[in-house]
């Protein structure tokens, strides 16, 4: 204190839990409507600005949406800022365009069908008003350019109809007043007309003009193929804007966006004898700011951080992140549920988020002794692991995402539920939402038992309800409706998530 002038402020507490509201839905199903397999959404991605959203589906299509409320409300925003009013903007997107990215193929050498399903979409840097994105199925990556082009039309022939003779017959029905049919070579069937010397002064050809109408055109600029023997599970853009990586079960390749016929293998975990194979690569992500760093996760629950400056083939990692197994907790399912299905870097690159079958884990890249926080996603399913194994649900790959400010994380679960956790120090935020027009209808306040997880509000199994397929809130859970894919807006608290063929959007 300096003479009583200095005021000591108490440290700010954790942010308050967000109040999530329904924003929009695209492709909403009517009651009893059957979902076509090809329409099920398999990838979601916001671009860096958050003004565009892309989804991919199992039919190989990519659908683009663009934000409209920022454009429509710019003037209103300025007026409200002048009056010092809070701005309660409702995020709104509209359908922009769609295109067929991949088609079903057949590998004749291996006698394998290659699905058209889109596994991942990544936005690239925009240029000259055009949008660029990468999309991949199991084997082939494509680089797309989506641009508005002015529609070219054939103008009306500026031929004077009364003077039209012989070759001057107009093909356009809007200009031709004469029902006289024309021959294939443009002559008239009734008179044998010959051109005068110097030609016809009244005959003018139609002109192609560019109209003011625009049309969105998607064009495949490059195809990156024949570089993966196994199914591609990840693609990730580099911060240098020039390169990207693609990962399959055993290898990670580095590509230049401009070169489609050559890639560099930077990670190869394939053993000399495949019988010695103990783990596979499940996900890979480049660092958001350091173009020489990337992380990849494995089926054993570990994350490896590698530095491309160390060597050309990065088989040795710079850091290994894994949580030691608790003594006495090992079971038949331990390795299966430890497999990491997705990893994401926070915007600043300091933290990583990983999702395994039961939990979300937040890691500090400067601390490899263990996760900073662990969040239980659906702990009430632990007694059901045997059933989940029988119906193959235990192998479902759930994605995860972080908010732009790094204060919250989110991931999906079954019964079309998704969970949002606060990861700021001291935060107890743990919200369960349903992908529907009423996202909070499933939440019932129940006292929960103390948990050893860092998130104090967790869902636990109700005793006596273990055989009836009922979760902690008394709702029956449905393993067939799973929310695997979701994305958080890069600058605002807005989440897009996929429930089968429907895209739901929420804001807080």
Which of 307-311, 349-353, 362-366 bottoms out in mean pLDDT, i.e. has the lowest? 307-311
pLDDT top residue among 143 and 204: 143
How far lies 151's CA from each of 63, 70, 188, 210, 214, in Å?
21, 27, 33, 6, 5
What percentage of the chain carries pLDDT values higher than 90?
61
- The pLDDT of residue 439 is above 90: no
pLDDT top residue among 224 and 190: 224
What's the pLDDT score for residue 174? 41
Can you read off the two tokens belonging to residue 128?
């000259």
Q: Which of 187-196, 268-277, 326-335 has the lowest mean pLDDT?
A: 187-196
Percent of the chain with pLDDT over 70: 77
pLDDT-derived band at 176, boundaries 50, 70, 90: very low
* Whole-prediction pTM: 0.79
pLDDT of residue 270: 92
Indicate whether 166 pLDDT > 50. Answer: no
* DSSP-assigned letters across all residues of 74-135: HHHHHHHHHTT--------EEEEEEEE----EEETTTTEEE-----EEEE---BTTBEEEEE
Of 283, 2, 45, nearest to 144 by C-alpha is 45
Mean of all residue pLDDT scores within the chain: 82
Positive or negative, the CA dihedral 450, 452, 454, 457 is negative
- How confident is the model over 254-272, as a mean pLDDT? 95
DSSP of 58-74: TTSEEEEEEE-HHHHTH
- When comparing pLDDT for 438 and 2, which is higher? 438
Query: Where do the structural domains in the chain lie, given as residue ranges?
Result: 34-72+89-137+140-156+206-223
**Range of lowest pLDDT (85-99, 166-180, 428-442, 448-462):** 448-462
The predicted structure's pLDDT at residue 100: 97
Three-state SS for 37? helix
Please report the DSSP string for 374-440 in residue order. Answer: EEES-GGGGGGHHHHHHTTGGG----EEE-TTSSEEEEE-BTTEEEEEE-STT---EEEEESSSSTT
* 257 pLDDT above the threshold of 90: yes
Instruction: Check residue 109 and give its pLDDT.
Output: 81
Lowest mean pLDDT among 3-7, 13-17, 207-211, 492-496: 3-7
Confidence band, pLDDT 50/70/90 cuts, at residue 447: very low
How many residues are given for the chain? 508
pLDDT given for residue 203 in this prediction? 59
pLDDT at 208 (0 to 100): 79
**pLDDT tens by residue, 145-161:** 999 888 777 776 555 44
**Helix, strand or coil for residue 154?**
strand
Report pLDDT digits (tens) over 377-395: 999 999 999 999 999 999 9
pLDDT of residue 199: 63
Query: pLDDT digits over 31-84, tens only?
Result: 778 889 999 999 999 999 999 999 999 999 999 999 998 765 555 555 555 555
pLDDT score at 167: 44
Please tell me the distance from the alpha carbon of residue 12 to that of residue 408, in angstroms, as a whole number.
17
Torsional sign, CA 20, 21, 26, 32: positive
């Amino acid at each position: 204190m300096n003479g009583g002038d200095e005021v000591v402020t108490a440290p700010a507490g954790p942010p308050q839990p967000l109040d999530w509201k329904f924003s929009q839905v695209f492709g909403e199903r009517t009651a009893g409507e059957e979902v076509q397999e090809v329409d099920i959404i398999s990838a979601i991605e916001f671009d860096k600005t958050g003004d565009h959203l892309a989804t991919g589906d199992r039919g190989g299509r990519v659908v683009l949406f663009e934000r409209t409320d920022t454009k429509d409300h710019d003037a209103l925003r300025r007026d409200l800022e002048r009056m010092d009013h809070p701005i309660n903007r409702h995020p709104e997107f509209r359908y922009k365009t769609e295109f067929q990215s991949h088609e079903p193929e057949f590998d004749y050498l291996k006698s394998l069908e290659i699905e058209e399903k889109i596994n991942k979409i990544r936005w690239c840097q925009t240029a000259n008003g055009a949008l660029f994105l990468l999309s991949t199925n199991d084997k082939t990556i494509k680089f797309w350019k989506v641009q508005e082009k002015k529609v070219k039309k054939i103008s009306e022939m500026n031929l004077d109809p009364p003077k039209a003779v012989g070759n001057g017959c107009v093909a356009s029905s809007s200009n031709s007043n004469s029902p006289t049919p024309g021959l294939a070579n443009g002559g008239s069937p009734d008179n044998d007309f010959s051109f005068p010397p110097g030609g016809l002064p009244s005959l003018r050809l139609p002109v192609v003009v560019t109209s003011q109408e625009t049309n969105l055109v998607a064009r495949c600029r490059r195809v990156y193929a024949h570089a993966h023997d196994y199914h591609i599970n990840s693609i990730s853009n580099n911060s240098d804007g020039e390169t990207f990586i693609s990962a399959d079960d055993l290898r990670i390749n580095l590509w230049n966006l401009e070169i489609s016929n050559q890639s560099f293998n930077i990670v190869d975990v394939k053993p000399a004898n495949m019988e010695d194979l103990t783990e596979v690569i499940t996900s890979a992500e480049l660092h958001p700011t350091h173009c020489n760093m990337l992380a990849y996760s494995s089926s054993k629950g570990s994350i490896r951080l590698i530095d491309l400056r160390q060597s050309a083939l990065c088989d040795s990692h710079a850091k290994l992140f894994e949580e030691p197994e608790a003594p006495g907790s090992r079971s038949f399912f331990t390795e299966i549920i430890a497999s990491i299905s997705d990893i994401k870097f926070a915007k600043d690159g300091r933290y990583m988020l990983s999702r395994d079958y039961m939990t979300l884990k937040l890691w500090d890249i400067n601390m490899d002794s263990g996760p900073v926080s662990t969040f239980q996603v659906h702990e009430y399913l632990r007694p059901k692991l045997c059933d989940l194994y029988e119906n193959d649900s235990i192998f479902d790959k759930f994605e995860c995402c972080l908010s732009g400010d790094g204060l919250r994380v989110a991931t999906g679960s079954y019964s079309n539920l998704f969970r949002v956790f606060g990861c700021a120090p001291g935060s107890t935020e743990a919200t369960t939402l349903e992908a529907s027009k009423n996202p909070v209808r499933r939440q019932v306040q129940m006292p929960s038992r103390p948990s050893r997880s860092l998130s104090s509000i967790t869902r636990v199994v109700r005793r006596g309800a273990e055989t009836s397929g009922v979760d902690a809130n008394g709702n029956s859970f449905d393993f067939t409706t799973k929310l695997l894919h979701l994305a958080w807006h890069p600058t605002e608290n807005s989440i897009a998530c996929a429930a089968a063929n429907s895209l739901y959007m929420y804001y807080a």
